[in-house]
């Protein structure tokens, strides 16, 4: 299982080499991996559909109870099959669609990495590893959206997607950690059956809101829906994979996964139900007036995500079964439609409904596939989309709360869905042909394989719904509900309210399509309004503000004057020290005593202080260097007198070398100058006194107070028995703390190499 998840990353590393070896067959070879994964997951089906589950755990960071543990149950298996199955076709498709593109190997690397991250996400049983995979999908998605990095629009869209999803990711991380702490475990399988304990906790509401923020941003729920259509700047295969079938469903997956633990309360129902319903209607409304092909598909994806969220919010057995059905139906038709959009672009060079028409004669297979997929989108007999839509309407009608509102939303969405489906199912194919943007070319089989297979599946599932239900969908719905659910999928339920609503929607939607141009004109006003006050505008204002703020604070803080940096740092540090001291003033003691000091020690201390003051006040370079020498040797004397012979020797030697250094360099620099005015000097002296005084007080407090036993006693006792050395300082340096010493000699080496570079490499940069 670990291999199944990680193989994507491993193979991704090989992709560029494979492309160098055999550019022609690289894509089909790479597609073998998702295909193999699909087969591997498929052979787990009997076990899962029998109600079993599979759990594997590897310790990762046991100290933080972070494990790489994976759980296969109905829900995760469904996602895993979708990811690997659609992934196979996408890799094949991308290999042809972008054939010969300079950066195709990079795209393959990213796609495979993304697939692996997505598999890890849906299979993870550990909250933390789930989050890690979650963020990996955000990052790979960022790189994929920005694939055409020379295009400023693509870069902006990539950044927008990243900010929105990673911002939500931050909230999600907090929420997941809270969930783990409240539930006492970071394993999903242990959390899911403690619903009552979790929901009774006082921090349940903030935790829920944080997790929802993560799921909503990822799954493009209102008001975060705007990043998804912009993400269409990615190459079409990427859009087909990430932004229809997989990544955006990560949020839905998380909600479905956590439903048994966090669901079934009024907050969950209201938030998810209403957000989902609003997203659903808004998405399909925007889709119905899009002219860009990918734009329309993106907005209809927003609709689907909203629908799924709403159904999870309802949380009834019926709603969850409908959710699973809708999810599968949507993945099948949306993956197919996106690839059809790619085929259309490949064949005609057109990405807009207004510039392509009447292609049915020249692209019969594509047209047929597109019509079937669009019918599934519209929810028409006998495709799987119809079953999903009927189940959705049925569960909305019987919603535990808000049933009337949600029914209205669902009906309107269904109506507009029909319009959007007709736009994509009719516009490009029928009517008088328009001249193509570039010379027409027939799409090869590698491009058509994906949409055809996915659409056939749509049709087959529609005609024989009992088969997918028994194999997997019932198990998936049960996993999401937390108990066994029997969806009872069937193509024909007799004449009932949902069927009548579907018929009504079909008629109204068709009417709207007939008046498509007027509908778009009529609703033009909403677009201008959204541009002015919509959520995307808010995002732009926020980002601009952030940039302005950082520019301002850079100007203020990074002013280029070393003095101000130092004063700011020192004063902040001093203020913090005194604040902390003020908060804990009771715990300080001072033992001020001068009685233990021998006369010569007074002389030493006096010399140090006097030399330091002299070094600061002298107006001569030589005087300052002499004062430094006096300080150095007096410090050495202090070390020797107070039981540190090694330090004494070192200090004397370094002092000698310092003199050599200063002779070689310092005296080639200009002499002392007095540049500051008197008030400035007085101010700096005050800063020095404050900081120095702080250190004095701190040192007095530290030497008089010992909170913990010194760890030195360990070194003292073990130096001879374990280190075979009688000089304890040396044993610490080369044995007990040798790693520290290694770091320190590395610093020394770096300083020397830096000096060397500055002296020797100057000749070149003068030239």
Partner 1 sequence: METLMAFVVGVLYATAIYMILRRSIVKLVIGLVLLSNAANLLLFTSAGMTRGAPPLVPQGATVPAGVVADPLAQALILTAIVIGFGVLAFAVVLIRRAYEVVQADDMNQMKDTDT
Partner 2 sequence: MNMQSLILRTAGQFILPLLLLFSLFLLLRGHNEPGGGFIAGLVAASAVSLHLFAMDTAAARRILLAAPRDLIGWGLTLGVVSAVPSIFLGEPFFTSIWFELTLPVLGTLKLGTPLFFDVGVYMVVVGSVLTIVLNLAEEH
Other Cβ atoms closer than 10 A to 377: 31
Nearer to partner 2, 190 or 722 (CB): 722
Nearer to partner 2, 362 or 621 (CB): 621
From 135-143, 314-322, 399-407, 553-561, give the range in contact with partner 1 by CB under 8 A. Answer: 553-561
Return the residues of window 715-744 that contact partner 2 according to CB under 8 A: 722-727, 729-731, 733-735, 738-739, 741-742
- In the complex, least distance from residue 749 CB atom to partner 2, rounded to whole angstroms: 5
Look at residues 398, 230, 383 and name the one whose alpha carbon lies nearest to residue 302.
230
Other Cβ atoms closer than 10 A to 75: 27
Cα gap 164→217, rounded to integer Å: 6
517 binds, among partner 1, partner 2, none (CB under 5 to 8 A by kind): none
Task: Enter the DSSP assignment of 55.
Answer: E
442, 455 contact by CB (below 8 A)? no
Nearer to partner 1, 524 or 730 (CB): 730
646, 729 contact by CB (below 8 A)? yes
Q: Exposed/middle/buried for 534, CB within 10 Å: 0-12, 13-18, 19+?
A: middle
Among 656, 696, 703, 712, binds partner 2 (CB under 8 A): 656
Does residue 695 bind partner 1 (CB under 8 A)?
yes
746 binds, among partner 1, partner 2, none (CB under 5 to 8 A by kind): partner 2
Does residue 641 bind partner 2 (CB under 8 A)?
no
Return the residues of window 187-206 that contact partner 1 according to CB under 8 A: none
544 binds, among partner 1, partner 2, none (CB under 5 to 8 A by kind): none
Does residue 608 bind partner 1 (CB under 8 A)?
yes
724 binds, among partner 1, partner 2, none (CB under 5 to 8 A by kind): partner 2
- In the complex, least distance from residue 727 CB atom to partner 2, rounded to whole angstroms: 6
Cα gap 413→539, rounded to integer Å: 26
- Residues 658-687 as x/- pattern, contact with partner 2 by CB under 8 A: --xx--xx----------------------
What is the distance, to the nearest Å, from the Cα of residue 409 to the centroid of all Cα atoms in its chain?
A: 32
From 114-122, 383-391, 495-503, 743-751, give the range in contact with partner 1 by CB under 8 A. Answer: 743-751
349, 422 contact by CB (below 8 A)? no
Nearer to partner 1, 270 or 559 (CB): 559
Does residue 639 bind partner 1 (CB under 8 A)?
yes
Return the residues of window 642-671 that contact partner 1 according to CB under 8 A: 642-647, 650-651, 654, 657-658, 661-662, 665-666, 668-671
Tokens of 754: 């830096």
Among 32, 538, 576, 641, binds partner 1 (CB under 8 A): 641
Cα gap 379→386, rounded to integer Å: 4
Nearer to partner 1, 543 or 697 (CB): 697
- In the complex, least distance from residue 254 CB atom to partner 1, rounded to whole angstroms: 47
621 binds, among partner 2, partner 1, none (CB under 5 to 8 A by kind): partner 1
603 binds, among partner 1, partner 2, none (CB under 5 to 8 A by kind): none
From 33-41, 301-309, 448-456, 598-606, give the range in contact with partner 1 by CB under 8 A. Answer: 598-606
95, 31 contact by CB (below 8 A)? yes
Task: Enter the DSSP assignment of 267.
Answer: H
First and final C-alpha spacing in the chain = 60
Cis peptide leading into residue 223 (ω within 30°): yes
Q: Exposed/middle/buried for 713, CB within 10 Å: 0-12, 13-18, 19+?
A: exposed
Does residue 759 bind partner 1 (CB under 8 A)?
yes
Q: How many of the chain's residues bind partner 1 (CB under 8 A)?
A: 100
Cα gap 426→662, rounded to integer Å: 85
Q: List, as one string, the DSSP characters of 88-147.
A: HHHHHHHHHHTTT-TTHHHHHHHHHHHHHHHHHHHHB-BHHHHHHHHHHHHHHHHHHHTT
Does residue 657 bind partner 2 (CB under 8 A)?
yes
Sequence-distant (6+) residues with CB within 8 A of 340 are: 366, 369, 370, 373, 451
What is the distance, to the nearest Å, from the Cα of residue 249 to the centroid of all Cα atoms in its chain?
A: 14
Among 555, 760, 766, 767, binds partner 2 (CB under 8 A): 760
352 binds, among partner 2, partner 1, none (CB under 5 to 8 A by kind): none
- In the complex, least distance from residue 569 CB atom to partner 1, rounded to whole angstroms: 11
Find the helix packing angle between 249-262 and 104-123, rounded to 10°. Answer: 10
742 binds, among partner 2, partner 1, none (CB under 5 to 8 A by kind): partner 2
Does residue 629 bind partner 2 (CB under 8 A)?
no
Q: Phi and psi of 71, rounded to 5°?
A: -130, 125
Largest CA distance in the chain: 110
Tokens of 375: 């019918």
Does residue 693 bind partner 1 (CB under 8 A)?
yes
Rg from Cα positions in the chain = 35
Nearer to partner 2, 151 or 722 (CB): 722
Q: How many of the chain's residues bind partner 2 (CB under 8 A)?
A: 39
- Residues 586-625 as x/- pattern, contact with partner 2 by CB under 8 A: ----------------------------------------
732 binds, among partner 2, partner 1, none (CB under 5 to 8 A by kind): partner 1
Among 491, 646, 687, 718, binds partner 2 (CB under 8 A): 646
Does residue 737 bind partner 1 (CB under 8 A)?
yes
Cα gap 251→234, rounded to integer Å: 20
Among 206, 400, 504, 688, binds partner 1 (CB under 8 A): 688
Look at residues 635, 617, 615, 634 and name the one whose alpha carbon lies nearest to residue 626.
615
Among 495, 533, 562, 583, binds partner 1 (CB under 8 A): 562
Among 619, 650, 696, 705, binds partner 2 (CB under 8 A): 650
738 binds, among partner 2, partner 1, none (CB under 5 to 8 A by kind): partner 2
Q: Phi and psi of 493, rounded to 5°?
A: -105, 10
- In the complex, least distance from residue 766 CB atom to partner 2, rounded to whole angstroms: 14
Q: How many CA atoms lie within 13 A of 553 on its CB side?
A: 5
From 50-58, 298-306, 438-446, 717-725, give the range in contact with partner 1 by CB under 8 A. Answer: 717-725
Does residue 63 bind partner 1 (CB under 8 A)?
no
Cα gap 518→224, rounded to integer Å: 29
φ/ψ region of 431 (left if φ > 0, alpha if ψ in -120 to 50, else beta) reads left
Among 556, 561, 679, 708, binds partner 1 (CB under 8 A): 561
Task: Enter the DSSP assignment of 494.
Answer: -
Please state, in angstroms and as integers, the Cα–Cα distance from residue 706 to each residue in 581, 589, 590, 654, following that order: 16, 10, 11, 32
From 285-293, 449-457, 643-651, 707-715, give the range in contact with partner 2 by CB under 8 A. Answer: 643-651
- In the complex, least distance from residue 579 CB atom to partner 1, rounded to whole angstroms: 20
Q: Locate tokens 């280190």: which residue?
A: 723
Does residue 596 bind partner 1 (CB under 8 A)?
yes
Q: Locate tokens 């693509």: which residue?
A: 154
Does residue 525 bind partner 2 (CB under 8 A)?
no
Nearer to partner 1, 466 or 686 (CB): 686
Task: Enter the DSSP assignment of 244.
Answer: I
Q: Exposed/middle/buried for 152, CB within 10 Å: 0-12, 13-18, 19+?
A: exposed
Tokens of 280: 């659903």
Chain residues binding partner 2 by CB under 8 A are 645-646, 649-650, 653-654, 656-657, 660-661, 664-665, 722-727, 729-731, 733-735, 738-739, 741-742, 745-746, 748-749, 751-753, 755-756, 759-760
């Amino acid at each position: 299982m670990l291999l199944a998840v990680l193989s994507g990353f491993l193979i991704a590393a090989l992709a560029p080499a494979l492309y160098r070896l055999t550019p022609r067959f690289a894509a089909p070879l790479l597609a073998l991996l998702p295909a193999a994964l699909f087969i591997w997951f498929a052979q787990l089906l009997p076990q899962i559909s029998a109600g079993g589950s599979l759990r594997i755990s590897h310790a990762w960071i046991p100290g933080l109870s972070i494990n790489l543990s994976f759980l296969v149950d109905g829900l995760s298996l469904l996602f895993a099959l979708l990811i690997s199955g659609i992934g196979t076709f996408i890799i094949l498709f991308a290999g042809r669609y972008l054939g010969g593109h300079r950066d195709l190997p990079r795209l393959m690397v990213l796609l495979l990495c993304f697939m692996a991250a997505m598999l890890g996400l849906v299979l993870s049983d550990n909250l933390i590893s789930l989050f890690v995979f979650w963020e990996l999908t955000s990052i790979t998605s960022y790189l994929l959206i920005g694939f055409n990095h020379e295009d400023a629009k693509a870069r902006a869209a990539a950044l927008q997607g990243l900010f929105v999803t990673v911002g939500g990711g931050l909230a999600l991380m907090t929420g997941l950690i809270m969930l783990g702490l409240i539930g006492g475990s970071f394993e999903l399988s242990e959390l899911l059956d403690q619903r009552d304990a979790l929901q009774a906790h006082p921090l349940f509401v903030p935790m829920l809101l944080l997790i929802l923020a993560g799921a909503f941003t990822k799954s493009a729920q209102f008001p975060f829906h705007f990043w998804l259509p912009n993400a269409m700047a990615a190459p079409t295969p990427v859009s087909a994979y990430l932004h229809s079938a997989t990544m955006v469903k990560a949020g839905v997956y998380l909600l479905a996964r956590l439903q048994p633990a966090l669901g079934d309360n009024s907050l969950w129902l209201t938030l998810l139900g209403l957000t989902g319903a609003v997203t659903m209607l808004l998405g399909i409304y925007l889709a119905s007036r899009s002219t860009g092909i990918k734009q329309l598909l993106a907005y209809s994806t927003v609709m689907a995500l909203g629908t799924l969220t709403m159904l999870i919010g309802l949380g009834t057995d019926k709603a969850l079964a409908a959710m699973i059905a809708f999810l599968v139906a949507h993945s099948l038709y949306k993956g197919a439609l996106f690839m059809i959009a790619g085929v259309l672009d490949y064949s005609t060079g057109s990405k807009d409904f207004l510039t392509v028409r009447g292609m049915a004669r020249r692209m019969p297979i594509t047209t047929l596939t597109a019509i079937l997929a669009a019918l599934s989108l519209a929810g028409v007999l006998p495709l799987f989309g119809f079953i999903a839509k009927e189940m959705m309407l049925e569960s909305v009608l019987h919603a535990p709360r808000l049933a009337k509102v949600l029914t209205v939303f669902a009906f309107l969405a269904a109506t507009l869905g029909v319009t959007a489906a007709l736009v994509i199912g009719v516009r490009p194919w029928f009517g008088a042909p328009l001249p193509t943007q570039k010379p027409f070319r027939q799409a090869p089989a590698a491009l058509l394989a994906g949409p055809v297979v996915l659409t056939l599946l749509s049709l087959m599932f529609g005609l024989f719904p009992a088969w997918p239900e028994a194999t997997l969908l019932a198990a998936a719905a049960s996993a999401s509900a937390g108990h066994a659910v029997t969806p009872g999928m069937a193509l024909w339920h007799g004449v009932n309210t949902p069927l009548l609503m579907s018929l009504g929607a079909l008629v109204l939607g068709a009417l709207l399509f007939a008046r498509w141009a007027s509908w778009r004109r009529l609703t033009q006003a909403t677009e201008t309004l959204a541009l002015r006050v919509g959520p995307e505008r808010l995002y732009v204002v926020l980002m601009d503000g952030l940039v302005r703020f950082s520019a301002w604070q850079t100007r203020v803080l990074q002013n280029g004057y070393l003095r101000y940096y130092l004063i700011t740092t020192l004063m902040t540090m001093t203020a913090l020290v005194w604040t902390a001291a003020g908060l804990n003033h009771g715990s300080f003691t001072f033992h001020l005593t001068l009685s233990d000091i021998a006369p010569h020690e007074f002389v030493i201390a006096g010399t140090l202080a006097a030399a330091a003051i002299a070094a600061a006040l002298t107006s001569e370079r030589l005087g300052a260097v002499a004062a430094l020498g006096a300080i150095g040797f007096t410090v050495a004397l202090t070390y020797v007198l107070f039981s540190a012979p090694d330090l004494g020797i070192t200090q004397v030697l370094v002092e000698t070398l310092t003199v050599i250094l200063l002779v070689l360099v310092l005296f080639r620099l200009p002499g002392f100058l007095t540049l500051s005015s008197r008030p400035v000097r007085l101010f700096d002296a005050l800063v020095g006194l404050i900081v120095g005084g702080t250190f004095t007080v701190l040192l007095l407090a530290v030497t008089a107070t010992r909170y913990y036993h010194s760890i030195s006693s360990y070194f003292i006792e073990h130096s001879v028995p374990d280190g075979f050395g009688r000089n304890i300082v040396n044993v610490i340096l080369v044995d007990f703390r040798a790693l520290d010493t290694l770091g320190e000699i590395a610093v020394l080496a770096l300083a020397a190499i830096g000096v060397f570079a500055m002296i020797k490499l100057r000749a070149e940069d003068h030239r």
